[in-house]
Amino acid sequence: MKSRKLLMIPGPIEFEPKVLQALGAPTASHVAPNFIESFGNCIELMRKVWLTSTGQPFIVSGSGTFAMDMVAANLIEPNDHVLVISTGYFGERFAEISKRYGANVTILAAEIGDIVSLDDIEKALSIKKYKLITITHVDTSTGVLVDPKPIAELAKKYNTLSILDGVCSVAGEEIRQEAWGIDVVLTASQKAVGVPPGLALLVVSQKALGAFKNRKTPVCNYYADFNNWLPIMQAYENRQASYFGTPPVNLIAALEVSLRQIVAEGMENRFLRHQKIATAFREAMLALGLKLLPVYKNLSANTLTAVYFPKNITGSIFLSQVGKNDVILAGGLLPSHKTLYFRVGHMGSVNNNDILATIAAIESALFANKVSFEMGIGLKTALKILNK
């Protein structure tokens, strides 16, 4: 009998068996030839996943929040102006991180479930000179998807560095870092990249590195300082041993396996697969009479979906009933709406069977709560999309 449940939260996600095997292998020395080769391969593979030929990858122990912190520590100096485009909880977090390094922060916050208009962004950029602009590609709290390409174009027009928080998007949503001119794209290992938690991953453009090298004040975070990490990344890519802090050897071995799988699938195929599964799930929820948190379907992410609970249902009881069908979902995160909605992650290795099992578990919980709906309509709707 299967002893574990299907993990359909926005991260950590379900991981491929070969990734977990690499994680459980005997730990090598961080200066062993096989590990040096693995680390160097990861750096080169990241460029293929991020779709850039010139960006500088960084692989550092930490969470997605540390990746955000690392960018802020290295690119912000006291009294720099930072423009934060916020579509939820993590936009606000980037604002708080930026303030810690002395930035003067302006927040353009969208209404819940919506995005900030390009007109409002350009207006803000035209009024004041900003050092950088931060964009949350997919806010994990709302499931809202922002198109970073036109915002990056505006940033370039106003000579502002563009920072994309891709924690819930890299390797799931379409990102073309070099073609779109995004200066930094950051993420964490436990989401669509498909590796257990513990790695902060970012790729930095040469323009952003130039801004870092021209800073007039020391970096106020020793562990995050690019001065400490850049020589390490360059050494490993050149297949040479180096040391600043002991790297998470097994996580990096697992990262190499996952990155190879992602590249083998092909980025175009991967983008389309996530889009198809997400569409099937969203349409299934709508067919069941449920309402999405994003105000328009085209603002819904392909890596996760935020769905309002039916009226007169206690969310914790509903999620518990879904869990009885061996599927784990996440509750709300946005403080103002925390008890009103739930979140479903569908990224990385998630396949058609996983999404169908999730829909079935939700239908079962709706039935248990005596919600009126056509039994099987969610599954039927999803299957029509998945089988196209």
Mean pLDDT of 4-28: 96
Nearest residue to 73 via CA among 94, 91, 92, 55: 94
Query: Which residues 6+ apart lie within 8 Å of 120 measured at CB?
Result: 108
| CA dist., res. 63 & res. 59, Å (int) | 11
Q: 368 φ, ψ to 5°? A: -65, -30
Band the pLDDT of 75: cuts 50, 70, 90.
Answer: very high
Instruction: Please determine, looking at this structure, whether the domain spanning 6-11+266-386 carries the CATH number 3.40.50.1010.
Output: no
Distance of CA 208 to the CA centre of its chain: 21
Token representation of residue 1: 């009998």
Question: At residue 276, does pLDDT exceed 50?
Answer: yes
What confidence score (pLDDT) does residue 2 get?
Answer: 59
Domain regions of the chain by residue span: 6-11+266-386, 17-265
What confidence score (pLDDT) does residue 1 get?
Answer: 39
- pLDDT tens sequence across 159-187: 999 999 999 999 999 999 999 999 999 99
pTM to 2 decimal places: 0.97
Name the amino acid, one letter, at 363: E
Mean pLDDT of 316-320: 96
- pLDDT tens sequence across 282-297: 999 999 999 999 999 9
Band the pLDDT of 4: cuts 50, 70, 90.
Answer: confident
| CA dist., res. 195 & res. 193, Å (int) | 6
Classify residue 51 as left (phi > 0), alpha (psi -120 to 50) or beta: left
Question: 278, 301 in Cβ contact below 8 A?
Answer: yes
Q: How far lies 166's CA from each of 135, 169, 326, 357, in Å?
A: 9, 5, 29, 27
Question: At residue 3, does pLDDT exceed 80?
Answer: no
**3-class DSSP assignment, residue 116:** coil
| Domains 6-11+266-386 and 17-265 belong to one CATH topology | no
Question: 104, 79 in Cβ contact below 8 A?
Answer: yes
| Mean model confidence pLDDT for the chain | 97
| CA dist., res. 306 & res. 304, Å (int) | 7
- pLDDT tens sequence across 49-73: 999 999 999 999 999 999 999 999 9
Q: 139 φ, ψ to 5°? A: -80, 120
Q: 223 exposed, middle or buried (CB, 10 Å; 0-12, 13-18, 19+)?
A: middle
% of the chain residues with pLDDT over 70: 99
Question: 108, 85 in Cβ contact below 8 A?
Answer: yes
Question: 56, 209 in Cβ contact below 8 A?
Answer: yes
Question: 199, 62 in Cβ contact below 8 A?
Answer: yes
Question: 163, 133 in Cβ contact below 8 A?
Answer: yes
Mean pLDDT of 324-347: 96
| CA dist., res. 153 & res. 376, Å (int) | 45
Question: At residue 386, does pLDDT exceed 80?
Answer: yes
| CA dist., res. 189 & res. 351, Å (int) | 19
- pLDDT tens sequence across 236-249: 999 999 999 999 99
Query: What number does CATH give the domain 17-265?
Result: 3.40.640.10
